[in-house]
Structure 1
Amino acid sequence: MRQVLYHAGAGLRRCPVALMVALAFQGAKGYAAEAIEFNTDVLDISDRSHIDLSQFSQAGYIMPGKYQMVIRLNKAELPEQTLAFIKPDNDPQGSQVCLTPQVIAQLGLKASALRDLMWWHNGQCLDTVSLPGVTARADLGESALYLNVPQAYLEYTADNWDPPARWDDGIAGGIFDYNLNGQSSRFTGASRRDVQSLSGNGTTGFNLGAWRFRADWQGQYNHTRGSMNNTQRDWQWSRYYAWRAIPSLKSKLMLGENYLNSGMFDSFRYTGTSMESDDNMLPPNLRGYAPEVVGVAKTNAKVTVSQQGRVIYETTVAAGPFRIQDLNTAVSGTLDVKVQEQDGTSHSFQVDTASIPYLTRPGSVRYKLAFGKPSDYRHDSQGPGFATGEFSWGVNNGWSLYGGSLLADDYHALAAGIGRDLLALGALSFDVTQSHAELPRDNTKTGGSWRLSYSKRFDEYDSQVTFAGYRFSQRDFMSMSEYLNVRYHGIVGNNNKELYTIAFNKQFRSLGLSAYANYSHQTYWNRPDNDSYNLSLSRYFDAWRFKNVSLNLSAYRTLYNNTSDDGMYLSLSLPWGNSSTLSFDSQAGSTGNSTAVGYFDRLDSNNSYRVKAGAGSRGNAVGSGYFTHQGNSAEMSVNASYEGSRYHSVGLSAQGGITGTTEGVALHRVSTMGGTRMMLDTSGVSGVPVRGYGGVTETNRFGKAVVSDISSYYRSSVSVDVNKLADDVEATRSVVQGTLTEGAIGLRRFGVIAGEKAMVTVRLADGTTPPFGAVVMGLGGHQAGIVNDGGQVWLTGMNAGEAMRVVWDGKTQCELSLPKPLPTATDNLMLLCQSVRA
């Protein structure tokens, strides 16, 4: 039985609004299995035979053909791709989306569901009847296919995490990321001198399919002019490497120069191949521990984190406590940290990137394999070839076994351990490593090392022991890096003895107080001890008319290579207005004391500044300023500090990148050097504000932007800030999503229409008008308007000189050419529609 749409009352005159409303209510019921017949008698038009409502006869009808659409699977979104709409064999007037085997492979269906699939159209399209409950609905206006699949058919998912079938390797393209820091200082008094420095590091490379090819670079320039002139220059390509994800194994394959990533053996540089389980591919609740660096800067300072000469991370920080938490989780071993103050002083310390207990889910195996030859920063091989492997096996819910070996010609090490989930008491692991090294002159060293690790979150006490560990090594125990230094360079290593480490945080919610502490104590067999601790307390409270007043106390101590650096920092902050803060700071340390009053203001989501003024330990006036700007092309900061009669200094830093693909090129901010990013397309419309998890970025003159605050293997969303769109721009699709593999260049397209809006009249070459209900399509494939009686159309997205297509009877019938320039008064504009040649 066919449905007939009737309307009692006034006819629809020169406006299809009532018709559209009626159709919307009809279409809300879902896909109609039967055609809808319209009663055209209710339409007050002169020629009822000159009407094309065929596209409305079925709810959600899409004319057969190919369309670029994103697939919105339940709450997730798959990349934009070409989808074909085909006439079903049993319904020549209908249209159905063709879900190809390639599309189905992206859904993440369970093996049991895949076995039940049936196909039509010569095996090219899924028959959704084979999966009861599956529905598909296309929206041409949003260029999206809404696909609803019962969760029972799908692999495990978590919040913002998708199974491997939905991971996106991105598109081919090249990248160049950089981080630059410049500083100019003048010191007065007895040590009068001028110092200029420029340092930088970054990553360049390209993507091809699932492969990521990268090269790291670093450079430094220092010039001192005074009693002694001195200039130092250094530039090097520090590392060449390539990698790709192996999703089926939850693993990462890497080739080239690398640093051994191991939970059992110390890290060293080598050239070769590695294959290892990648925790980043696991759901967030199963991922591991990332190292962090904490400290206190006495002035505006540059903090450099390096490992065996390679700069891993470099940034500038404002005076006060700092905490670096965005180091790569693949970093392992001992890190060297150098803090260079603007007053000319510097201090260094080391951070041990110890990991949480080596536990694995029941029945699962985690592994790391590597082989190659040790190498140095000049890319030369040194030492014998080696092979190493380690694993962790989850025996059951409580126990894990792990072990590994590192084998070379004159060196080998074996390790074995056990991990225990203590449930309410936390997690504990214990392992033993035995090394054997053959050195020149028949000198053989054999020794052992024992390690105990513990981690626990005490929810009932709002506290967490992030990591606690103890390690003891015998005098003759040698790591691979120590063996290489002695065997090939004659350098006697540190000869570690004992290492204590702990990281702890605690929340006192009733007091509004939080506490954080970390401590490291390293002893040696042949040199003085090293010590490091950092304690911070933070409390929020209300006082008088001020809300959320903040009181912070930090204390630190570093004893490194017989050089001690101790200090304390106290800060009181008062909210001042909507985005400003007034602060009082006091700092005491081994190099002097200072007290200052400061002011911070966030101008908008992309700009902020802080200024301070006060007195130093000698009564000298001190002051500093720090301005940060998150631009579309880079993140930049300018800073300055001075202390009367001692020094004054200014600094500049810039961090950004350039990404180029066949889809376009864009300058942009960068989060992780060589890391994951998403290129965004706004159909050639410039100045469109888009946002990931950071500040707003505007598309360039070509309608392209790159957002780099994207996490690998994590469902990330990027949106158009519709509140900041220009008056002549509208977004038909303002949110995109993607789950990208590590290092990928994702591509997503927003539905953006720019141009004038006006009521126009369309005429055909013979003087007649297109039929009522004909659709006008814009240059980008968007629906720009629907023809009303008399050829009138409310047209959107009008740009001078562009062409638009008029479609009826299932195909393009003619084209409109918009005048160049557009008339100032666009209402009642007459446009001629030229026939399209067959």
Structure 2
Amino acid sequence: MVIVRKEVIRQSSELGNVAQISVPWLVMLGLVLPSAGHAVEFNESFLRKGDGPVALHYFEKGNAVLPGSYDVDVYLNQSLTRRHTVQFNPDAEGLVRPAIPLGLLRAIGVDVAKLAKEGRIPAGTDDNAAVDLSALADGAAVDFEANTLSLFLSIPQAYVLRTARGYVDPSLWDDGVPALYTDYQATYSRNDGNGQHSDYYYLGLRSGFNIGGWRFRNESSLSGSSETGSRFSSNRTYVERNFASLRGKASAGELYTPGDIFESVRFLGGQIGTDLAMLPDGEMGFAPTVRGIAESNAVVEVRQNGYVIYSTAVPPGAFEINDIYPSGSNGDLEIRITEADGRVRRFTQPYSYLPVMVRHGSLRYALAGGQYRGEGSSRPKFLQGTMVYGVSEDWTAYGGIQASQDYAAANLGVGVNTRIGGVSLDVTHSRSRTPNGTRQGQSVRFLYSKTVNPTNTTFTMVGYRYSTDGYRTFSQHVDETDRPDGQGFRRQKSRVDVNISQPLSSGSLYLGVGDTSYWSGDGRSRRVQLGYSSSYKDISYSLSVSHTRDSGLAARPETQFSVSLSIPLGKVGRTHRAYANAVSSVRGDYNLQSGVTGYLNDANTVNYGVQAGYSRDGGGSGGVSLGWDTPTAKLSGNASQNRFGSHVDASASGSVVLHGGGVTLGQPLGETFAVVEVPKVAGVSMSNSPSVRTDRSGYAVVPYLQPYRVNWLNVDPSSTGVETEITENSKMVVPTRGAVVKTRFEAETGRRVQFELSLDQAGKVPFGAHAYDAKGRPLGMVDNQSRLLVFGIQDKGSIDVRWGDEQCTIGYALKPQNKALMYERQVASCVRGAMVTTVK
């Protein structure tokens, strides 16, 4: 007996369930399908005594599928290109072969023009015309794998267009559908003690409107506390559009200049520049990771250029935030940690680009102009232009200019790829005229990045900058114009940034160092973070130390230590874990915490935490937390108590999307996302986002798609009921940046019935006979026990069953549906009818 893996073949709506049970029944008989092109005659003696006759003429030809349309994954020279509907037709010998249209070859990167020039394709051939691959070129071939519905096309490399790795044809880019949305993040915390209370709240909104290729965006926030009151701030409002021909985007409104060469500044105006995501394997940008240590249940607030861009509640111990979306590509981040007792600690997180390097022949450009918008009162107009060009495989040249009425700056630099790493060096010269007089000077910047392969040590960013006393950035020039006395701002003299990560044993060691000195005796800022995390079997642990100092703010130096341990509870695979962590500082403060966390359901969408602790100032404490990832939002809450009082915080994040199908609530969106429709079917989840489910109208929002890249949206078939069947469970989308793409998964809803057939009240219907409804739609195939499993039929009707040149008809009337059953059984008689022509 030969055993073959049981598979269910996916098909388009044109075929319904034709082949749903054909291969499995052959498996039960121990038969192996021959390769296409080799005829075989099935031995009926394999059938058990009492089985009916056999009608498997298509499979006797070596075919693994029946004629019809199938949604298949198309591979070109072993690389997946797309999913496409391909027609499979029988030839004169009865072999079922795929019909490959010329347009499909053109779309996946075959050099059709070269084939036509060499006469291998007749001139004027329509894109819908099927072509014979074996006649195109020596070595060209097609192979079909039925179990995975994969179509493998092999084309000589001479006839394949050369594209860079990661390239996606711009013709596939989708600007999406008109939509209006808002992405929100809301947090609230309350501290009560000694007869007093304090509240803090934050609401961040990222709203947008799409129409065609136009993107209208607004970022705003509402924050406040019981001490300071409320403050609403609109960070920026702008409109943007992508231009494939320019490999870039144009924007207008409240924007930030790029920060790879000059300091990023906020302004009102317009700019145009390269969008790296449009480039194959281009850099997708750099976002910093913020690390720190909380001494209690605290709120961490991240600010950039004076605006709150992120806020979240964290438990005691070391924390790491890696989902920040800075507004500009430069500009240090100010981190504020508000402890449960109201204490606020601050430190600065450096944020800048890695060394300026591009590939040979690659050009990046940016042109911006408008009115400067800083925290001061001055609003000078300015113009900025930058350019980066790959001179050779190892050398990159770059530079730019900034110009305003009383300010001018020019930059010139070079980047080089060396054996010891990527290095860039540039010099910026500035000339500034203020009420204090005219100043001019230079700033030298050195950037370095390297991964040492023998040790796997990664220098993610090493930077050094030195500025002379007369050098001014554009923002410093504006500040000095507003405040000639120099109060309220500091001019940077030198700055060093080092970030190193090192795999060590089964864990990872990281080191971050930042040191900045200032002119005019304004002191210096220093930040050092060192940590190690690892695991032993299922036990994980980490150690970290942090030192911060900013003499310019008259703050005392602070050094903190943190140790944490996490141990699984129960059997392997359980999600419950016990943990303990300790935080202490050189000033004598300490905080000890222990507890249990885990998930309360198999889908891991509901999490909990129970904790107890002790600190020097707060004494004993205890708390509970709960989080819930719903299809429409992410919710979390925490409550704790110590001898001085209580702390409560709650947060919610999600989205509201208005589109052509109505209003859909969803989880946080990110920049680019999809609206999925499964018509009138609720509760369908996506395989790549298990907590995302369709609502009562059949819509769901799938967040965080990659722009200009192939994204697969996959429906989880197990999330549909027995009365629903998705005819195609995977879709490919290629959204442009900021697009809201919409895709539809066709679904059929109906009854699933197994008919136990008898032919003319006595005999059996042949094995392999095919069934069709009254409209000619294929329903299924009869098995070797004269049984027919069909889906989506009406409560009353007729079914035609055909084999060879014969047919019979089933007349049926079903009882009321029992939805508790996977399928219902019905005894029926198939009455033989007149001879017909077999439908192909």
Confirm or deny a common fold (TM above 0.5).
Answer: yes
**8 A contact 2:561–2:584 mirrored in 1:** yes
Task: In structure 2, give the amino acid aligned to 1:125.
Answer: A
Partner residue of 1:104 out of 98, 103, 106: 106
Partner residue of 2:560 out of 555, 564, 568: 568
Q: CA deviation at 1:655?
A: 1.4
Distance 1:498 1:486, change over 3 A: closer
In 2, the alpha carbon distance for the partners of 1:209 and 1:139 equals: 39
In structure 1, the partner of 2:186 is 181
Distance 1:456 1:288, change over 3 A: farther
**8 A contact 1:178–1:202 mirrored in 2:** yes
1:186-244 residue CA offsets vs partner (Å, 9 max, x unmatched): 4433xx432333311122224444443322232224335xxxxx642425473222232
Task: In structure 2, give the amino acid aligned to 1:412.
Answer: A
Task: In structure 2, give the amino acid aligned to 1:620.
Answer: G
**8 A contact 2:220–2:232 mirrored in 1:** no
Partner residue of 1:553 out of 532, 540, 544: 544
TM-score w.r.t. length of structure 2? 0.78
RMSD between aligned residues: 5.0
Whether 2:472 is the aligned partner of 1:484: answer no
Distance 1:177 1:712, change over 3 A: same
Distance 1:57 1:359, change over 3 A: same
Partner residue of 1:396 out of 376, 388, 392: 392
Q: CA deviation at 1:268?
A: 1.0
In 2, the alpha carbon distance for the partners of 1:815 and 1:176 equals: 52
Larger mean Cα displacement after TM superposition, 780-789 or 527-536: 780-789
- Aligned to 1:505, the other structure's residue is in SS state strand
Q: CA deviation at 1:369?
A: 1.4
1:114-142 residue CA offsets vs partner (Å, 9 max, x unmatched): 96673676454363443555556789998
- Aligned to 2:226, the other structure's residue is in SS state strand
Task: In structure 2, give the amino acid aligned to 1:263.
Answer: D
In structure 2, the partner of 1:650 is 648
Partner residue of 1:596 out of 593, 596, 618: 593
Q: Figure out how many residues of one structure are paired with residues of the other and give that number.
A: 789
**8 A contact 1:762–1:793 mirrored in 2:** yes
- Aligned to 1:163, the other structure's residue is in SS state coil
**8 A contact 2:376–2:479 mirrored in 1:** no
Partner residue of 1:413 out of 399, 405, 409: 409
- Aligned to 1:482, the other structure's residue is in SS state helix
- Aligned to 1:461, the other structure's residue is in SS state coil
In structure 1, the partner of 2:329 is 331
Distance 1:823 1:551, change over 3 A: closer
In structure 2, the partner of 1:242 is 240
In structure 2, the partner of 1:677 is 673
In structure 2, the partner of 1:345 is 343
**Following superposition of structure 1 onto structure 2, how do residues 23-38 of structure 1 map, counting pairs within 5 Å?**
29-30=35-36, 32=37
Q: CA deviation at 1:292?
A: 2.4
In 2, the alpha carbon distance for the partners of 1:648 and 1:368 equals: 54
In 1, the alpha carbon distance for the partners of 2:531 and 2:830 equals: 73
In 1, the alpha carbon distance for the partners of 2:507 and 2:695 equals: 45
In 2, the alpha carbon distance for the partners of 1:612 and 1:630 equals: 21
In structure 2, the partner of 1:227 is none
In structure 2, the partner of 1:540 is 534
Q: CA deviation at 1:429?
A: 1.6
In 2, the alpha carbon distance for the partners of 1:428 and 1:509 equals: 26
Distance 1:829 1:632, change over 3 A: farther
Distance 1:817 1:758, change over 3 A: closer
Distance 1:794 1:426, change over 3 A: same
1:704-728 residue CA offsets vs partner (Å, 9 max, x unmatched): 4333243334554554556766566
**Following superposition of structure 1 onto structure 2, how do residues 636-647 of structure 1 map, counting pairs within 5 Å?**
636-645=635-644, 647=645
In structure 1, the partner of 2:260 is 263
Whether 2:608 is the aligned partner of 1:609: answer yes
Q: CA deviation at 1:269?
A: 1.4
Query: Which 5+ residue runs of structure 2 have no aligned equivalent?
Result: 1-20, 832-840
**8 A contact 2:139–2:156 mirrored in 1:** no
Q: CA deviation at 1:373?
A: 0.6
Whether 2:737 is the aligned partner of 1:742: answer yes
**8 A contact 1:804–1:817 mirrored in 2:** yes
Distance 1:494 1:309, change over 3 A: closer
Q: CA deviation at 1:35?
A: 10
- Aligned to 2:475, the other structure's residue is in SS state helix
Whether 2:230 is the aligned partner of 1:232: answer yes
Distance 1:183 1:56, change over 3 A: same
Q: CA deviation at 1:650?
A: 1.0
Query: Which 5+ residue runs of structure 1 have no aligned equivalent?
Result: 1-14, 225-229, 834-838
In 1, the alpha carbon distance for the partners of 2:775 and 2:409 equals: 62
Task: In structure 2, give the amino acid aligned to 1:274.
Answer: Q
In 1, the alpha carbon distance for the partners of 2:267 and 2:775 equals: 50
Larger mean Cα displacement after TM superposition, 377-386 or 649-658: 377-386
In 1, the alpha carbon distance for the partners of 2:30 and 2:209 equals: 48
Q: CA deviation at 1:265?
A: 0.6
Distance 1:802 1:57, change over 3 A: farther
**Following superposition of structure 1 onto structure 2, how do residues 50-69 of structure 1 map, counting pairs within 5 Å?**
59=63
1:278-337 residue CA offsets vs partner (Å, 9 max, x unmatched): 344455586654322222222233323233344333333222222222334863222333
In 2, the alpha carbon distance for the partners of 1:138 and 1:750 equals: 24
- Aligned to 2:381, the other structure's residue is in SS state coil
Distance 1:46 1:617, change over 3 A: closer
Distance 1:547 1:314, change over 3 A: closer
**8 A contact 1:98–1:126 mirrored in 2:** yes
In 2, the alpha carbon distance for the partners of 1:816 and 1:439 equals: 95
Equivalent pairs: percent with the same residue?
Answer: 21
Distance 1:783 1:750, change over 3 A: farther
In structure 2, the partner of 1:519 is 513
**8 A contact 1:261–1:331 mirrored in 2:** yes
Whether 2:449 is the aligned partner of 1:455: answer yes
Task: In structure 2, give the amino acid aligned to 1:105.
Answer: A
Distance 1:96 1:82, change over 3 A: closer
In structure 2, the partner of 1:146 is 151
**8 A contact 1:304–1:337 mirrored in 2:** yes
In 1, the alpha carbon distance for the partners of 2:99 and 2:795 equals: 34
Whether 2:223 is the aligned partner of 1:220: answer yes
